[in-house]
Amino acid sequence: MHRSEDDTEPAGGITVVGSYLSPYVRKVLVCLALKGLPYRIDPIVPFYGNDTFAHLSPLRRVPVLIDDQVTLADSTVICEYLEERYPAVPLLPHSPPQRARARWLEEYADSRLGEALIWHLFNQVVIRRFVWGEPPDEQVLRKAREREIPQALDYLESQLPADGCLFGPIGVADVALAAFFRNAVLSRYAIDAARWPISAAYVVRVLGHAAFESLRTFEDLSARTPILHHRAALQAAGAPISKHSFGTSTPRRGVLEI
Ligand SMILES: N[C@@H](CCC(=O)N[C@@H](CS)C(=O)NCC(=O)O)C(=O)O
Protein backbone atom coordinates (compact mmCIF):
# COMPACT_ATOMS: atom_id res chain seq x y z
CA MET A 1 0.00 0.00 0.00
CA HIS A 2 2.77 2.41 0.94
CA ARG A 3 5.91 2.98 -1.01
CA SER A 4 8.65 3.45 1.49
CA GLU A 5 11.47 1.24 0.23
CA ASP A 6 13.68 4.07 -1.08
CA ASP A 7 13.79 7.84 -1.03
CA THR A 8 13.22 8.40 -4.73
CA GLU A 9 10.04 10.23 -5.75
CA PRO A 10 8.07 7.73 -7.83
CA ALA A 11 8.20 8.81 -11.50
CA GLY A 12 4.68 9.85 -12.40
CA GLY A 13 3.68 8.92 -8.86
CA ILE A 14 1.44 10.67 -6.38
CA THR A 15 2.57 13.05 -3.64
CA VAL A 16 0.17 14.23 -0.94
CA VAL A 17 1.06 17.36 1.02
CA GLY A 18 -0.47 17.57 4.48
CA SER A 19 -0.33 16.28 8.03
CA TYR A 20 -1.66 12.89 9.15
CA LEU A 21 -3.63 14.87 11.73
CA SER A 22 -5.87 16.56 9.14
CA PRO A 23 -9.21 14.82 8.45
CA TYR A 24 -9.16 16.18 4.88
CA VAL A 25 -5.72 14.64 4.32
CA ARG A 26 -6.93 11.41 5.97
CA LYS A 27 -9.88 11.27 3.57
CA VAL A 28 -7.51 11.39 0.59
CA LEU A 29 -5.01 8.90 2.09
CA VAL A 30 -7.78 6.39 2.84
CA CYS A 31 -9.20 6.75 -0.68
CA LEU A 32 -5.71 6.18 -2.12
CA ALA A 33 -5.29 3.09 0.07
CA LEU A 34 -8.72 1.74 -0.94
CA LYS A 35 -7.83 2.20 -4.59
CA GLY A 36 -4.45 0.53 -4.04
CA LEU A 37 -2.51 3.59 -5.19
CA PRO A 38 0.97 4.16 -3.73
CA TYR A 39 1.93 7.67 -2.70
CA ARG A 40 4.48 9.77 -0.90
CA ILE A 41 3.54 12.27 1.78
CA ASP A 42 4.99 15.62 2.84
CA PRO A 43 3.35 15.68 6.29
CA ILE A 44 3.27 19.43 6.94
CA VAL A 45 0.88 21.19 9.27
CA PRO A 46 -0.52 23.83 6.84
CA PHE A 47 0.48 26.85 8.94
CA TYR A 48 4.10 25.78 8.40
CA GLY A 49 3.87 25.81 4.60
CA ASN A 50 6.58 27.76 2.75
CA ASP A 51 6.12 30.18 -0.17
CA THR A 52 5.95 27.38 -2.71
CA PHE A 53 3.21 25.75 -0.66
CA ALA A 54 1.26 29.03 -0.81
CA HIS A 55 1.60 28.89 -4.57
CA LEU A 56 0.40 25.26 -4.79
CA SER A 57 -2.47 25.85 -2.36
CA PRO A 58 -3.77 29.43 -2.68
CA LEU A 59 -5.84 29.07 0.49
CA ARG A 60 -2.76 27.59 2.23
CA ARG A 61 -4.75 24.53 3.15
CA VAL A 62 -4.04 20.81 3.06
CA PRO A 63 -4.33 18.35 1.39
CA VAL A 64 -2.59 19.10 -1.88
CA LEU A 65 -2.18 16.26 -4.37
CA ILE A 66 0.58 16.44 -6.96
CA ASP A 67 0.99 13.86 -9.70
CA ASP A 68 2.33 13.67 -13.24
CA GLN A 69 -0.59 15.67 -14.65
CA VAL A 70 -2.14 17.99 -12.09
CA THR A 71 -1.83 19.78 -8.75
CA LEU A 72 -5.05 19.95 -6.72
CA ALA A 73 -5.76 21.64 -3.40
CA ASP A 74 -9.11 20.39 -2.13
CA SER A 75 -9.95 16.95 -0.74
CA THR A 76 -13.27 16.61 -2.59
CA VAL A 77 -11.78 17.64 -5.92
CA ILE A 78 -8.88 15.23 -5.29
CA CYS A 79 -11.17 12.30 -4.48
CA GLU A 80 -13.33 13.00 -7.55
CA TYR A 81 -10.20 13.11 -9.67
CA LEU A 82 -8.99 9.78 -8.24
CA GLU A 83 -12.43 8.30 -8.87
CA GLU A 84 -12.38 9.37 -12.52
CA ARG A 85 -8.76 8.53 -13.24
CA TYR A 86 -8.65 5.24 -11.29
CA PRO A 87 -12.19 3.82 -11.55
CA ALA A 88 -11.25 0.15 -10.98
CA VAL A 89 -12.19 0.33 -7.28
CA PRO A 90 -15.20 2.68 -7.23
CA LEU A 91 -15.78 4.79 -4.13
CA LEU A 92 -19.08 6.29 -5.21
CA PRO A 93 -22.24 4.17 -5.57
CA HIS A 94 -23.57 3.47 -9.05
CA SER A 95 -27.07 5.00 -9.19
CA PRO A 96 -27.45 8.79 -9.62
CA PRO A 97 -29.66 9.28 -6.53
CA GLN A 98 -27.23 7.34 -4.35
CA ARG A 99 -24.24 9.13 -5.86
CA ALA A 100 -25.91 12.44 -5.06
CA ARG A 101 -26.63 11.35 -1.50
CA ALA A 102 -23.03 10.19 -1.07
CA ARG A 103 -21.81 13.60 -2.29
CA TRP A 104 -24.16 15.36 0.11
CA LEU A 105 -22.91 13.38 3.11
CA GLU A 106 -19.30 14.04 2.05
CA GLU A 107 -20.10 17.74 1.80
CA TYR A 108 -21.86 17.67 5.18
CA ALA A 109 -18.77 16.06 6.71
CA ASP A 110 -16.37 18.55 5.13
CA SER A 111 -18.41 21.64 6.02
CA ARG A 112 -20.48 21.01 9.15
CA LEU A 113 -18.34 18.35 10.84
CA GLY A 114 -15.33 20.40 9.80
CA GLU A 115 -16.70 23.44 11.59
CA ALA A 116 -17.76 21.59 14.75
CA LEU A 117 -15.05 18.94 15.11
CA ILE A 118 -12.09 20.77 13.59
CA TRP A 119 -12.41 24.53 13.92
CA HIS A 120 -14.39 24.50 17.15
CA LEU A 121 -12.88 21.42 18.85
CA PHE A 122 -9.56 20.05 17.48
CA ASN A 123 -8.12 23.44 16.51
CA GLN A 124 -9.09 24.82 19.91
CA VAL A 125 -7.49 22.06 21.96
CA VAL A 126 -4.56 21.09 19.71
CA ILE A 127 -3.68 23.73 17.07
CA ARG A 128 -4.16 26.79 19.27
CA ARG A 129 -1.94 25.29 21.92
CA PHE A 130 0.76 23.63 19.84
CA VAL A 131 0.99 26.05 16.89
CA TRP A 132 0.16 29.39 18.50
CA GLY A 133 0.84 28.75 22.19
CA GLU A 134 -2.64 30.03 23.08
CA PRO A 135 -5.25 28.50 25.41
CA PRO A 136 -8.53 27.30 23.88
CA ASP A 137 -11.49 29.67 23.70
CA GLU A 138 -13.69 27.99 26.31
CA GLN A 139 -16.88 29.53 24.92
CA VAL A 140 -16.24 28.15 21.44
CA LEU A 141 -15.37 24.73 22.92
CA ARG A 142 -18.49 24.65 25.07
CA LYS A 143 -20.72 25.54 22.13
CA ALA A 144 -19.13 22.79 20.05
CA ARG A 145 -19.51 20.15 22.77
CA GLU A 146 -22.97 21.14 23.95
CA ARG A 147 -24.71 22.27 20.76
CA GLU A 148 -22.92 21.75 17.45
CA ILE A 149 -21.64 18.19 17.84
CA PRO A 150 -24.89 16.89 19.42
CA GLN A 151 -26.90 18.53 16.61
CA ALA A 152 -24.69 16.86 13.99
CA LEU A 153 -25.01 13.49 15.75
CA ASP A 154 -28.80 13.84 15.94
CA TYR A 155 -28.81 14.28 12.17
CA LEU A 156 -26.32 11.47 11.47
CA GLU A 157 -28.25 9.08 13.70
CA SER A 158 -31.12 9.36 11.19
CA GLN A 159 -28.86 8.87 8.15
CA LEU A 160 -26.32 6.19 9.02
CA PRO A 161 -26.84 2.42 8.65
CA ALA A 162 -27.09 0.12 11.67
CA ASP A 163 -24.79 -2.34 9.88
CA GLY A 164 -22.07 -2.07 7.27
CA CYS A 165 -21.41 1.07 5.27
CA LEU A 166 -23.71 3.62 3.65
CA PHE A 167 -23.97 2.20 0.13
CA GLY A 168 -22.57 -1.35 0.33
CA PRO A 169 -18.78 -1.41 0.19
CA ILE A 170 -16.92 1.40 1.95
CA GLY A 171 -17.06 4.60 -0.10
CA VAL A 172 -15.99 8.22 -0.01
CA ALA A 173 -18.99 9.32 2.10
CA ASP A 174 -18.10 6.77 4.81
CA VAL A 175 -14.46 7.81 4.61
CA ALA A 176 -15.23 11.52 4.91
CA LEU A 177 -17.62 11.11 7.85
CA ALA A 178 -15.37 8.77 9.83
CA ALA A 179 -12.23 10.84 9.11
CA PHE A 180 -13.66 13.74 11.14
CA PHE A 181 -14.58 11.57 14.08
CA ARG A 182 -10.98 10.38 14.26
CA ASN A 183 -10.12 13.99 15.18
CA ALA A 184 -12.82 13.83 17.85
CA VAL A 185 -10.92 10.87 19.34
CA LEU A 186 -7.65 12.82 19.11
CA SER A 187 -9.42 15.70 20.93
CA ARG A 188 -10.67 13.27 23.62
CA TYR A 189 -14.31 13.63 22.59
CA ALA A 190 -16.16 10.30 22.71
CA ILE A 191 -19.58 9.83 21.10
CA ASP A 192 -22.11 8.93 23.79
CA ALA A 193 -23.16 5.46 22.60
CA ALA A 194 -26.25 5.47 24.82
CA ARG A 195 -27.57 8.62 23.13
CA TRP A 196 -26.36 7.95 19.55
CA PRO A 197 -25.91 4.15 19.32
CA ILE A 198 -26.03 3.92 15.53
CA SER A 199 -23.49 6.71 14.96
CA ALA A 200 -21.15 5.46 17.69
CA ALA A 201 -21.10 1.92 16.28
CA TYR A 202 -20.78 3.14 12.68
CA VAL A 203 -17.75 5.32 13.47
CA VAL A 204 -16.00 2.45 15.29
CA ARG A 205 -16.80 0.12 12.37
CA VAL A 206 -15.55 2.44 9.63
CA LEU A 207 -12.45 3.55 11.56
CA GLY A 208 -11.71 -0.17 12.06
CA HIS A 209 -11.31 -0.66 8.30
CA ALA A 210 -7.77 -1.66 7.31
CA ALA A 211 -7.35 1.50 5.22
CA PHE A 212 -7.92 3.66 8.33
CA GLU A 213 -5.98 1.30 10.60
CA SER A 214 -2.89 1.56 8.39
CA LEU A 215 -2.64 5.29 9.23
CA ARG A 216 -3.18 5.05 12.97
CA THR A 217 0.47 4.66 14.02
CA PHE A 218 1.43 7.73 12.00
CA GLU A 219 -1.50 9.75 13.39
CA ASP A 220 -0.71 8.87 16.99
CA LEU A 221 2.96 9.59 16.43
CA SER A 222 2.14 13.00 14.92
CA ALA A 223 -0.18 13.78 17.85
CA ARG A 224 2.56 13.22 20.43
CA THR A 225 5.55 14.68 18.54
CA PRO A 226 6.46 18.40 18.42
CA ILE A 227 5.40 19.71 15.00
CA LEU A 228 8.89 20.53 13.74
CA HIS A 229 9.96 16.91 14.37
CA HIS A 230 7.00 15.28 12.60
CA ARG A 231 8.84 14.59 9.37
CA ALA A 232 11.87 12.91 10.94
CA ALA A 233 9.80 10.91 13.44
CA LEU A 234 7.42 9.69 10.74
CA GLN A 235 10.29 8.76 8.45
CA ALA A 236 11.90 6.76 11.26
CA ALA A 237 8.56 5.00 11.82
CA GLY A 238 8.37 3.91 8.17
CA ALA A 239 5.90 6.44 6.75
CA PRO A 240 6.23 6.95 2.97
CA ILE A 241 7.81 10.39 3.34
CA SER A 242 8.46 12.50 0.22
CA LYS A 243 11.96 13.52 -0.71
CA HIS A 244 11.14 17.25 -0.77
CA SER A 245 9.19 19.28 1.74
CA PHE A 246 7.12 22.43 1.36
CA GLY A 247 7.47 23.08 5.08
CA THR A 248 9.24 25.83 6.97
CA SER A 249 9.98 26.32 10.65
CA THR A 250 7.90 29.41 11.46
CA PRO A 251 4.10 29.26 11.43
CA ARG A 252 1.99 31.91 9.71
CA ARG A 253 -1.69 32.56 10.09
CA GLY A 254 -4.06 30.99 7.55
CA VAL A 255 -5.70 32.80 4.65
CA LEU A 256 -9.29 32.12 5.71
CA GLU A 257 -10.43 33.33 9.11
CA ILE A 258 -12.38 30.37 10.43
N1 LIG B 1 -12.11 22.34 1.56
C2 LIG B 1 -10.78 21.89 1.94
C3 LIG B 1 -10.57 22.15 3.42
C4 LIG B 1 -9.18 21.74 3.86
C5 LIG B 1 -8.80 22.32 5.23
O6 LIG B 1 -9.50 23.17 5.78
N7 LIG B 1 -7.70 21.84 5.79
C8 LIG B 1 -7.21 22.37 7.05
C9 LIG B 1 -6.45 21.30 7.82
S10 LIG B 1 -7.53 20.22 8.68
C11 LIG B 1 -6.21 23.48 6.77
O12 LIG B 1 -5.44 23.37 5.84
N13 LIG B 1 -6.22 24.53 7.61
C14 LIG B 1 -5.31 25.64 7.47
C15 LIG B 1 -6.05 26.96 7.55
O16 LIG B 1 -7.26 26.93 7.81
O17 LIG B 1 -5.42 27.98 7.32
C18 LIG B 1 -10.64 20.42 1.59
O19 LIG B 1 -11.64 19.70 1.53
O20 LIG B 1 -9.51 19.99 1.31
Residue 165 Cα to ligand 1 middle (Å): 26
Whether 32 maps to a domain, the answer reads: no
Domain that holds residue 144: 96-207
pLDDT of residue 227: 95
Whether 124 maps to a domain, the answer reads: yes
pTM of this prediction? 0.95
pLDDT of residue 258: 57
Half-sphere exposure of 198 (CA within 13 A, CB side): 14
CATH code (residue 175): 1.20.1050.10
Whether 73 maps to a domain, the answer reads: no
Whether 48 maps to a domain, the answer reads: no
Whether 144 maps to a domain, the answer reads: yes
Whether 51 maps to a domain, the answer reads: no
Residue 223 Cα to ligand 1 middle (Å): 17
pLDDT of residue 253: 87
Structurally, how many domains does the chain consist of?
1
Whether 174 maps to a domain, the answer reads: yes
Residue 34 Cα to ligand 1 middle (Å): 22
Residues contacting ligand 1 via CB (< 6 Å): 22-24, 46, 60-63, 74-76, 110, 118, 254, 256
Q: Would you say 16 and 32 are in contact if contact means Cβ atoms under 8 Å apart?
A: yes
Whether 90 maps to a domain, the answer reads: no
pLDDT (tens, 9 = 90+) of the chain, 258 residues, equals 344 334 445 466 999 999 999 999 999 999 999 999 999 999 999 999 999 999 999 999 999 999 999 999 999 999 999 999 999 999 999 999 999 999 999 999 999 999 999 999 999 999 999 889 999 999 999 999 999 999 999 999 999 999 999 999 999 999 999 999 999 999 999 999 999 999 999 999 999 999 999 999 999 999 999 999 999 999 999 999 999 999 999 998 888 765
